[in-house]
Structure 1
Amino acid sequence: MRKKPFSKGWSFIIIFITVGLSYGIYHIYLYNAPRQSHYSRVSSSNLEQERLGDIQLLQSLESLTQAPKPRDDIERYQYYNLDNETTVATARGDDKIILISVYSDQKMSTARGIRVASSADDVIEAYGSSYYKRGEQGADIIGYVDKINHRSLEFWLQDHKVNMIRYSVDSVVM
Structure 2
Amino acid sequence: MRIKSYFLFIFPLILLLLLASCDPSSTPTEKYYSSTKTTNLELENVKSVSVGSSKYDVASYLRKKPKFIEVTEQPPYTTYVYGKSTEKYDVEFKIVDNKVSRYDLISSKYGSEKGIHTGDSKKDVIRAYGENYYEREDIGATTIGYFDKNHKLNIEFSLDDKDKVGVILVQKINN
Smaller-chain TM-score bracket = 0.7 to 0.9
User: Post-superposition shift, 1:118?
Assistant: 0.5
SS in 2 for 1:62: helix
SS in 2 for 1:37: helix
2:101 equivalent in structure 1: 98
d(CA) in 2 for partners of 1:131, 1:53: 25
SS in 2 for 1:134: strand
- Bigger radius of gyration among the two: 1
The answer (yes or no) to whether the contact 2:90–2:108 under 8 Å persists in 1 is: no
- TM-score normalised over the length of structure 1: 0.73
d(CA) in 2 for partners of 1:171, 1:61: 19
d(CA) in 2 for partners of 1:99, 1:40: 21
User: Post-superposition shift, 1:73?
Assistant: 2.8
Amino acid at match of 1:161: K
The answer (yes or no) to whether the contact 1:45–1:146 under 8 Å persists in 2 is: yes
1:18 equivalent in structure 2: none
RMSD: 1.7
1:152 equivalent in structure 2: 154
2:94 equivalent in structure 1: 89
2:79 equivalent in structure 1: 79
Structure 2 gaps, min length 5: 1-26, 84-88
- TM-score normalised over the length of structure 2: 0.73
d(CA) in 2 for partners of 1:118, 1:98: 25
User: Post-superposition shift, 1:53?
Assistant: 4.2
d(CA) in 2 for partners of 1:41, 1:114: 24
The answer (yes or no) to whether the contact 2:90–2:109 under 8 Å persists in 1 is: no
SS in 2 for 1:126: helix
Deviates more, 1:141-150 or 1:43-52: 43-52
